[in-house]
A and B are shown apart, each in its own frame.
Chain A
Amino acid sequence: GQSLEQPSEVTAVEGAIVQINCTYQTSGFYGLSWYQQHDGGAPTFLSYNALDGLEETGRFSSFLSRSDSYGYLLLQELQMKDSASYFCAVRKGNYQLIWGAGTKLIIKP
């Protein structure tokens, strides 16, 4: 089967750091992506890891360990506008994405 697991909800304080984990089991794997979706909005791309290690883009970083079938999204210096749902997704062949259930990030002042 194919599945991705991520926490359903994470709460953090403005200015803090938060890590959202994702574990996956898929029959094919080309890379792990992260998307952000605000309520009522469309998903927007954040990062993509095809190889092991850390990718950094501004306040956001993403990590992948293919041997552990595990990745995480790290958000630093949290801002209220970061309140959203975050999805991990595994890229299969033909560029199809298999999506996790999503993690709702709640940020408190």
Chain B
Amino acid sequence: SAVISQKPSRDICQRGTSLTIQCQVDSQVTMMFWYRQQPGQSLTLIATANQGSEATYESGFVIDKFPISRPNLTFSTLTVSNMSPEDSSIYLCSVAKTGASSTDTQYFGPGTRLTVL
């Protein structure tokens, strides 16, 4: 398993500002993912962040808006830049445990609830 923490747990921000969300894992993992989820909705993958390479963004998400850092195997940050009210959402990081005995499980952090005014 993996235990994941995120900071901040929630924030209220003004439009035009930026917020950096931190994700810390209790063990070394290669694959880390950032998601966005509106309350009552499904999860939308923003990007895949693997250590040692540039993050890979999904359609509709760009690096200028959501820059990601992955400096080591236990930590990543997602920045939401130049925020607008449409960015209000829950942001989740997750990690994939892989290997011969893996069941392709993803473990999720508790999420960051962002409100943009």
* Interface status of A83 (Cβ within 8 A of chain B): no
Contacts A87-B42, A95-B98 given; does A42 touch B108 at CB 8 Å: yes
- Looking at B13-21, B66-74, B76-84, B99-107, the stretch in contact with chain A turns out to be B99-107
Complex alpha-carbon distance, A44 and B4, angstroms: 12
- What distance in Å separates the Cβ of B65 from its nearest Cβ neighbour in chain A? 20
- What distance in Å separates the Cβ of B37 from its nearest Cβ neighbour in chain A? 9
Contacts A42-B109, A42-B110, A94-B48 given; does A99 touch B104 at CB 8 Å: no
Contacts A50-B104, A87-B42, A100-B42 given; does A42 touch B31 at CB 8 Å: no
Size of A's binding interface in residues, CB under 8 A: 22
Size of B's binding interface in residues, CB under 8 A: 22
Other CB < 8 Å A-B pairs besides A43-B106, A87-B43, A97-B45, 11 of them?
Answer: A33-B105, A41-B110, A42-B92, A43-B94, A44-B108, A45-B107, A95-B104, A95-B106, A96-B33, A96-B48, A102-B41
27 A-B pairs with C-beta separation under 8 A:
A33-B104, A33-B105, A35-B106, A41-B110, A42-B111, A43-B92, A43-B106, A43-B108, A45-B103, A45-B107, A48-B104, A50-B104, A94-B48, A94-B56, A95-B31, A96-B33, A97-B33, A97-B43, A97-B45, A97-B106, A98-B45, A99-B44, A99-B45, A101-B41, A101-B42, A102-B41, A102-B42
